[in-house]
Structure 1
Amino acid sequence: MTGSTVVDASSREATYRGLKNDAGARFLGIRYAEPPIRHLRFKPPAPYENHGLVDASRHRFAPPQTLHPRPDWAPRGAGFETGEDCLNLNVYTPAADDGRRPVIVHAFGGGFQGGSAHGTFHDEAGFARRGNVVLVRPNMRVGALGFLHLGEVFGPDYAAANRGMLDLIAALEWVRDNIAAFGGDPDNVTVVGMSSGSFTIAALFGVDGVADLYRRAWLMSGPASRLIAPETATALAADFLDQVGVQPGNVEALQALALDDILAAQGKVLATHLGERNAQGGRRTFGIVLDGASLQRHPLEGLAGGQFRYHGLVAGWSRDEARMWYASGMMPEVADRPALLASIERFRPEDAERQLVSLEAEEPGLSYTAYEEIFLSRAIYRDPALRTLATHAESGGIGFAYEFRWVPKFEGGRLGAAHGFDEPFVLDSASPERFPLADGDPAAACLATDMSAALIRFAATGEPGWQSYGAGAFIRHWP
């Protein structure tokens, strides 16, 4: 950090030594749970208490993952190192004082297989300074280490379900206990997530004992849906164990697995088709498992029960969510009408034909692939977001909906308003050097200012600046 000096923040038994400059202060790589290695590899996060002087001047490991080449137009960051000792978090604050600023905890996305709390495109320090908030970005386990469902074959005493979600809860507990020392208000915490990070946050509505850890949630393309049935998750785990040659119940062999073998095996057992991954119950994918223990009930049931009626909620999606998978070649072309109907039937088996006829009437003359893209964008993201908001409203809660419609000029707009394109704007990190798709569009900077201001306003007051979603079913369109 150029031109930086040291800065201390003392909380409980520890003094955290970070860095500060004109952009504010940052405290990096703070451990919030025991390293999940060796005998703790597939266990819930174990409590950890920092003591004495803690070096918080540098990033630690992001979670293990397979890193793939990215297109030139993808968001850019400095990069990150990965390792199993990854349960750490980063704090960005205008000042480590008694300011009691709103706290925003950001959960990264990455399809439950990747992502990092640092080294990405985010302008964390600038966002915290401009918004006068404290930003916390925790690293959490992903992939097989975070979400492979092993409890049925190894027993819940050894292998906990939804470990990545439990990591997020542990990070929120650290925030509750320590963030006041960093200038934040532990009674005013907003959780913000994108994609798998958002799905993980939404899952908390089905978890007992967490409502007091945060006050508000801003969900980007990850509503209270995409829950995986235990039997489906167990079948995936069996395929994984076959790949790595570990017999059910052989804890020693599981602990001894090389990290590279784990990453290679998970790549072989997971689906890439967007519909297959996200259909009800989940198919060959990692995600939140409705196990009844770590996740006591479906998140929609939690919302309907009213435990979160006093929590503010924003749920957003991009208009062309699925376009990303087609543009990147991950989704195949749809050959004919029967194949399209089969894709729709994954989500709507009772009325697939009616769904397709309705789409054809709404947008006549499109290709089968285009119809599948529109359907999946709505079935996976838009429609569940609206159900989440409607359930919250019915229980007495206040929520807000938005649809993101900004289309980059890149290659004539072929990417559309795709999955994840709203996050750089919501977190005010849409400068061309960070988000190349914004290059050449003077309106992008204004949009980032407006959307990030809405998040800051929501974190401070519970009001993002537009009409709530209720009887009028109001949806804010950006831009």
Structure 2
Amino acid sequence: MTDANPIEIRSREATYRGLRDARGDRFLGIRYAEAPVGQRRFKPPEPVEHQGLVDATRYGFAPPQARRPMPAWAPKGEGFETEEDCLNLNLYTPAADNGRRPVIVHAFGGGFQSGAAQGGWLDEPGFARRGDVVLVRPNMRVGALGFLHLADAFGAEYAAANRGMLDFIAALRWVRENIAAFGGDPDNVTLVGMSSGAFTISALFGVDGVADLYRRVWLMSGPASRIIDRDTAAALTRDFLDQTGVRPGDSGALEMLPVETILKVQEQVLATHLGERNAPGGRTFGIVLDGASLQRHPLEGLASGRFHDHAIVTGWTRDEARMWYAFGMMPTVRDRQALLSSIARFHPMDAEQQLAALEQELPGLIYTRYEEAFLSRAIYRDPAIRTLETHRTAGGRGFAYEFAWVPTFENGRLGAAHGFDEPFVFGDLERVPLAQGDEVAVRLARELSAALLTYARSGNPLLPGYEPGVAVVSFGGI
């Protein structure tokens, strides 16, 4: 960061003190809901009303999460601190004035188990200034604290399973009420997310009373599909409670459970196999169709036409599943029967036909590569297309792209893997080792970033509208 001077701006009842330097204004760690601790733990976010002077010159905490070592080729950042008191947001603007600039709200990814609104690869002030937009990045709860379904074990007081999603909505309400004072246009808000962040944004199509909080979405590897049924979520909760020793109904024990125990046990009860996590009945955290916080399946919400005036961009990477194999999280597929069993999680009645079609399209692959190709499509590409088709049928506009850029690292071993497109969409490759020295990567980042910024400004992502049966745009493909 360059040398910065304090700046104060007035919004509603409060004055916010942020920082100004040559690259613009930033306001950090703004609390948008009460701290979710004590009796508020495992409860929906409660509104907070700021008064007087609010210090927004330092980052707040990111949500509690397990910290894992990252490979040398992963994007680099400065890191972040974690605490349960994590319901805060960071705001970056070229100038806190009356500019009414487009607003981009970014939801971080991390498998519903990790992530943060700061300390990563993104140069937020640089992006906001380059695009002349206001960028908002909220922290929200993840893991069991954010998504463990407790209604069946603890009653109506804990009916809302999707606390992390509700946190995000609370942040959007803060944006709606305050962003004009920071140079943003509350009537021109674009939501952008990758992976669990995109799944969270997609879920909003199944939520009542949120349509006026945003105008359009850009979804990276997170279409409106990955929704967990209540019985599956309840079974996961039973395992979690059994391993922590908390009896159903004992809310006091739940409130006193050490956060270290929560993080340890959630790792033990979740599946690690990508297919098992994402197939129906998968043991994972995510958006639960609880009937309280999520009133209907997001695809049903789209089909109803409630969001026909909201534009959708949805993208996927060509080799989505490759990341899990590269990290060693997926075992080698030893034989054809094991491959069919993996496919049958998604297609129990026609696994043979699914594999035969894949073999005809991609002849000569080893079993593991067939599984990878199948999971990439079954979890990400195909549901993305289904999202757009549902939206189109209801009168909505949608756009699609496939990201196919492959880094030269180890002869392209990583493929065009999950998450690779996000730095390109934000046009920020400075902290992405895999892209250094690659002129093609620089060009793609320029194109995708221009698409996002034009989309945020006008609703036009510089992509052709989605049409069934027509090939989508490929970025980086040969």
Q: TM-score, normalised by structure 2?
A: 0.98
- SS of 2:464's equivalent in the other structure is coil
Question: What amino acid is the match of 1:391?
Answer: T
Q: Which moves more between the two structures, 359-368 or 83-92?
A: 359-368
Q: Contact between 2:160 and 2:292, CA under 8 Å: does it hold in 1?
A: no
- SS of 1:424's equivalent in the other structure is helix
Partner of 1:43: 43
Partner of 2:395: 396
Question: What amino acid is the match of 1:338?
Answer: Q
**How big is the shift at 1:159?**
5.2
Partner of 1:452: 449
**How big is the shift at 1:349?**
1.2
**How big is the shift at 1:393?**
0.4
- 2 CA distance for matches of 1:309 and 1:336? 46
Question: What amino acid is the match of 2:465?
Answer: S
Question: What amino acid is the match of 1:17?
Answer: R
Q: Contact between 2:159 and 2:290, CA under 8 Å: does it hold in 1?
A: no
CA-to-partner distance for each residue in 1:65-106, whole Å, 9 max, x for gaps? 000000000111100000000000000000000000000000
For the pair 1:302 / 2:301, whether they are aligned, the reply is: yes
Q: Contact between 1:467 and 1:474, CA under 8 Å: does it hold in 2?
A: no
**How big is the shift at 1:430?**
1.2
- SS of 1:130's equivalent in the other structure is helix
- SS of 1:469's equivalent in the other structure is coil
Partner of 1:119: 119
Partner of 1:429: 428
**How big is the shift at 1:472?**
5.6
Q: Contact between 1:241 and 1:247, CA under 8 Å: does it hold in 2?
A: yes
**How big is the shift at 1:471?**
4.6
Question: What amino acid is the match of 2:259?
Answer: L
- SS of 1:114's equivalent in the other structure is coil
- After superposition, residues 52-201 of structure 1 pair within 5 angstroms as 52-158=52-158, 160-201=160-201
Change (3 A) 1:400 1:421: same
**How big is the shift at 1:283?**
1.5
Q: Which moves more between the two structures, 387-396 or 154-163?
A: 154-163
Q: Contact between 1:9 and 1:17, CA under 8 Å: does it hold in 2?
A: yes
Partner of 2:272: 272
Q: Return the match for 2:438 from 437, 441, 448.
A: 441
- 1 CA distance for matches of 2:469 and 2:343? 29
Moved over 4 A (4+): none
Partner of 1:467: 464
Q: Contact between 1:42 and 1:159, CA under 8 Å: does it hold in 2?
A: no
- After superposition, residues 344-423 of structure 1 pair within 5 angstroms as 344-423=343-422
**How big is the shift at 1:443?**
1.9
Q: Contact between 1:8 and 1:96, CA under 8 Å: does it hold in 2?
A: no
Question: What amino acid is the match of 1:365?
Answer: G
Q: Contact between 1:123 and 1:428, CA under 8 Å: does it hold in 2?
A: no
- SS of 1:167's equivalent in the other structure is helix
Q: Contact between 2:313 and 2:399, CA under 8 Å: does it hold in 1?
A: yes
**How big is the shift at 1:160?**
2.4
Question: What amino acid is the match of 2:344?
Answer: E
CA-to-partner distance for each residue in 1:1-25, whole Å, 9 max, x for gaps? 3211111221111111111111111
- 2 CA distance for matches of 1:466 and 1:285? 34
- 2 CA distance for matches of 1:411 and 1:8? 50
Task: Note the aligned Cα RMSD (angstroms).
Answer: 0.9
- 1 CA distance for matches of 2:369 and 2:181? 51
- 1 CA distance for matches of 2:73 and 2:355? 33
Task: Report sequence identity in percent.
Answer: 70
**How big is the shift at 1:473?**
3.5
**How big is the shift at 1:337?**
0.4
Question: What amino acid is the match of 2:246?
Answer: V
- SS of 1:157's equivalent in the other structure is helix
- SS of 2:157's equivalent in the other structure is coil
CA-to-partner distance for each residue in 1:307-346, whole Å, 9 max, x for gaps? 1000011000000000000011000000100000000001
Partner of 1:221: 221
- SS of 2:346's equivalent in the other structure is coil
**How big is the shift at 1:429?**
1.5
- SS of 1:200's equivalent in the other structure is helix
**How big is the shift at 1:123?**
1.1
Question: What amino acid is the match of 1:399?
Answer: G
For the pair 1:317 / 2:320, whether they are aligned, the reply is: no
- 2 CA distance for matches of 1:473 and 1:11? 47
Q: Which moves more between the two structures, 103-112 or 349-358?
A: 349-358
- 2 CA distance for matches of 1:158 and 1:322? 34
- SS of 2:167's equivalent in the other structure is helix
For the pair 1:343 / 2:342, whether they are aligned, the reply is: yes
Question: What amino acid is the match of 2:211?
Answer: A
- 2 CA distance for matches of 1:156 and 1:426? 41
Partner of 2:290: 291
Question: What amino acid is the match of 1:264?
Answer: K
- SS of 2:186's equivalent in the other structure is strand
- 2 CA distance for matches of 1:473 and 1:297? 30
Partner of 1:476: 473
Q: Contact between 1:107 and 1:191, CA under 8 Å: does it hold in 2?
A: yes
Q: Contact between 1:192 and 1:219, CA under 8 Å: does it hold in 2?
A: yes
**How big is the shift at 1:445?**
1.6
- SS of 1:374's equivalent in the other structure is helix
Question: What amino acid is the match of 1:310?
Answer: D
Question: What amino acid is the match of 1:452?
Answer: S
Partner of 2:330: 331
- 1 CA distance for matches of 2:310 and 2:189? 10
CA-to-partner distance for each residue in 1:330-374, whole Å, 9 max, x for gaps? 000001000000000011112110110111111111110000000
